[in-house]
Amino acid sequence: MGKFKNPYTPEQVIAFSYSQLVDMKEKATRNEVFDLLDLVNSELEKRPPPPPPKPVKSSLVRKLEKEVCNKMEKLGRRLLDIYDLSPTTAKQLSEGTKRFKPHSLLSKSGGAKTGGAQKNGLVAFDRYISYRLKDDVFALISIIYHDRDVDTVRYQVFAPETAIDNFVHISELREHLEKDEEIGLSKGGVEFKTFEEAEQLFVSLIDRFAPKLTN
């Protein structure tokens, strides 16, 4: 059998899908067809890689996510009955903070919000509630990294390092982050094994930093 040669024109290479280009790159590399490899690499550099496929959730993961969201919603509604966590008040109290964007404690539908890691398909689920004041973000998060980790739901509280003990950098709390990588204003926090432990710390932070409602 003769050695594999480049049968494609630049116009044909451009018409390939991203996955086809990746396959062709592997074949061109294996067979040392360098002119084709140059064409494929040039085209790949022009295209952003497709997002990773979102993990398929088992029925148990869906059940756990629903249970966690119910707990967060109940907690959020309880806090909103005691503290003024409105975006309007947060904005007033954060006057002078550059590019301040207030957080609503709950989602627009009134439940737990969906984290970016879940939206990007990096974890099985990532749900949270949060409050921002000036440049400080306080968040209560529940996360499962993989469908197989149903026995290790992680409960995390993000807060400024000066506000909590046993602070851990966010890159140590999130498996998909590189060392010392950060996400926006959230630098890190603390991880717990139970929702109740995380809830206790989060409530204490809200009590310290957020104003109470006035009658």
Q: Are 193 and 143 in contact (CB under 8 A)?
A: no
Q: Which helix (H) or strand (E) holds 61?
A: helix 59-80
Per-residue pLDDT tens digits for 158-188:
999 999 999 999 888 887 776 766 677 888 9
Three-state SS for 129? strand
Q: What pLDDT score does 1 carry?
A: 39
Give the integer Cα–Cα distance in Å for 46 and 128: 35
% of the chain at pLDDT higher than 70: 90
141-160: average pLDDT: 85
Question: How high is the pLDDT of residue 107?
Answer: 95
Mean pLDDT of 182-196: 88
What per-residue confidence (pLDDT) applies to 56? 65
User: What are the tens digits of pLDDT across the range 37-78?
Assistant: 899 999 999 988 776 666 667 888 889 999 999 999 999 999
* E-assigned strand segments in the chain: 113-114, 125-133, 136-144, 154-158, 168-169, 188-192
CA–CA separation, 160 vs 61, rounded Å? Answer: 30
Tokens of 186: 């959230």
pLDDT at res. 52 = 64
Higher pLDDT among residues 24 and 177, named by residue: 24
- CA-CA-CA-CA torsion sign (183, 186, 192, 198): negative
